[in-house]
Amino acid sequence: MNDIPSYSLKQLAEQFSLEWRGDPEVQLSGIAPIEKAEAHHISFLENSRYQKYLSETRAGVVVLPRVLAEECRTNCLITDTPYLTYAKIAGLFLSRDLPSVGIHPTAIVDPSAHISSSVALGPYVVIGPNVHLDDHVIIGAGSYIGAGTHIAEKTCLWPHVSVYHDTEIGCSCEIKSGAVLGGDGFGFAPTPSGWHKIPQLGRVIIGDRVSIGANTTIDRGSTQDTVIATGVIIDNQVQIAHNVSIGENTAIAGCVGIAGSTHIGKNCQIGGGAGIGGHLVITDNVAIAAMSGITKSIREPGQYIGRGGMGVDTLKTWLKLAAKLRGIDKILARIKKLEE
Scanning residues 175 to 234, which ones bind a second copy (CB under 8 A)?
176-178, 180, 183-184, 186, 188-189, 191, 194-199, 201, 209, 211, 213-215, 217, 219, 223-224, 230-231, 233
Q: Of 5, 68, 84, which Cα lies nearest the Cα of 76?
A: 68
Figure out which of the listed residues 54, 60, 148, 226 binds a second copy, where binding follows CB under 8 A: 148
From the CB of 283, what's the least distance to a second copy, in Å?
19
Query: Is residue 31 at the binding interface for a second copy, with CB under 8 A as the rule?
Result: yes
> Residue 270 in contact with residue 264, Cβ under 8 Å?
yes
Q: Which residues pair with 139 in a beta bridge?
A: 121, 157
Q: Which residues pair with 63 in a beta bridge?
A: 44, 77
Query: Is residue 303 at the binding interface for a second copy, with CB under 8 A as the rule?
Result: no
Figure out which of the listed residues 8, 118, 249, 314 binds a second copy, where binding follows CB under 8 A: 249
From the CB of 84, what's the least distance to a second copy, in Å?
4
Query: Is residue 97 at the binding interface for a second copy, with CB under 8 A as the rule?
Result: yes
Figure out which of the listed residues 164, 205, 264, 282 binds a second copy, where binding follows CB under 8 A: 164
Q: Of 95, 93, 141, which Cα lies nearest the Cα of 120?
A: 141
With contacts defined by CB under 8 A, how many residues of the chain interact with a second copy?
118
Ranges of H-type helices in the chain = 9-15, 82-90, 315-326, 328-339
Q: Residue 242 catalytic? A: yes
Stretch 40-59 residues interacting with a second copy (CB under 8 A): 49
Choose, from 136, 160, 196, 242, the residue flagged as catalytic: 242
**Those residues with Cβ within 8 angstroms of residue 64's Cβ, 6 or more apart along the chain or in another chain:** 44, 45, 46, 54, 72, 76, 77, 78, 79, 82
Rg over CA atoms, the chain: 25
Q: Which residues are catalytically annotated?
A: 242
